[in-house]
Structure 1
Amino acid sequence: MPIQAEGVIRKLADPFDYGSAHMNPDRAVDPGLVYDIDPMEYTKFFNCTLGPKDDCSSYMGKLYQLNLTSIAPNLRNSVTVWRTVTNVGPLRATYQGAVEAPAGVNMAVNPSVINFKKGSTSATFKVTFTARHRIQGCYTFGSLTWFDGRNHSARIPIAVRTVIQDFVADIA
């Protein structure tokens, strides 16, 4: 029987309702890639939500631009999101991106291959989402996984909601 979410209104569970992951301590010690973020980015974002300032234009309404280990934008037509990964594995490594696009959304990663050579420890990539259908929708889910072809993989969940019109209930 399908898993149901807890709450007053019963619904089928989705990735927002599931647990995070199965913990594997051996793999956690050697993750290969991490999505590192300077704590000052969180402070800046928080301060911008309290009262917009001159340097807040890149953050207002765009939490999805923080270098988090997930991506969850609202999608009208097209959205581009940037992420930076840090190589904490072997000095020389090549990672191939594998995309599982959310239903009704085209998803492209550029570059789709990241090469780390001796001396380079971080790489920035962009993910572009384009709505295939102009329908006010619910969240659909996918993922982006970076594989090095050996024993490292770094997966982040994707949650996209197609939005045609803002409703008071959506933004209050």
Structure 2
Amino acid sequence: MPIQAEGLPRKLADPFDMGGGHIDPDRAVDPGLVYDMDPIEYTKFFRCTLDAKDDCDSYMGWLYQLNLPSIAVPDLEGSVTVSRTVTNVGPAAATYRVAVEAPAGVDVSVEPEVMTFTTDGSKNATFKVTFTARRMVQGVYTFGSLAWSDGGVHSVRIPVAVRPVIEDFVADVS
């Protein structure tokens, strides 16, 4: 039976209604890749969210670039590119390949599709994800995921939520 979301009105649960799953302690101590974020980014996020100042002009553009282990694009008109940086905390020499489960009605491309870490190189790698709306729908979130796998022990998956829009309405409350 499909899972129902709590609250009213009743609806089928989507990824916004579900938790992160069960914790696997063995995998938690050896994740392979992590999405690390500088505390300064959190400070700017809270400052711009609670009390927007002059340096918060491009808030949505900046918010898309917040290095979270998820990607949300609440107003996709045309295309948007976001970037994320991962830190390799697994074996020093590793190669990760991306697998994309694109949200319905959205084309997703990742650059680069392969990240290689070497023993004498950087432990950080940045990748860009471009979302392009294929279907012109209004106000409906669609969901997918992006997973980096080393072909062995590590698979690092993040959720993706995209809401394509034709026109931004003040009363649109999906």
When the two structures are superposed, what TM-score results if normalisation uses the length of structure 2?
Answer: 0.92
In structure 2, the residue matched to 1:76 is 77
When the two structures are superposed, what TM-score results if normalisation uses the length of structure 1?
Answer: 0.93
In structure 1, the residue matched to 2:133 is 131
**Hey, what's the Cα distance between the residues in 1 that align with 2:171 and 2:43?**
27
Choose which of 153, 157, 162 in structure 2 pairs with 1:155. 157
What is the RMSD computed on CA atoms of the aligned residues? 1.3
**Hey, what's the Cα distance between the residues in 2 that align with 1:36 and 1:57?**
25
Q: Structure 1: any 5+ residue segments left out of the alignment?
A: none
Provide runs of 4+ in structure 1 moved above 6 Å. none
Local SS of the residue matching 1:15: coil
**Hey, what's the Cα distance between the residues in 1 that align with 2:38 and 2:2?**
39
Post-superposition CA distance 1:109-155 (Å, at most 9, x none): 00000000123100000000000012213100000000001100110
Cα distance, 1:102 vs structure 2: 0.2
Q: Structure 2: any 5+ residue segments left out of the alignment?
A: none
In structure 2, the residue matched to 1:111 is 112
Letter in 2 for 1:161: R
Cα distance, 1:66 vs structure 2: 0.2
Cα distance, 1:46 vs structure 2: 1.8
Choose which of 132, 144, 151 in structure 1 pairs with 2:146. 144
- The count of aligned residue pairs is 169
**Hey, what's the Cα distance between the residues in 2 that align with 1:2 and 1:44?**
39
Letter in 2 for 1:122: N
**Hey, what's the Cα distance between the residues in 1 that align with 2:6 and 2:47?**
33
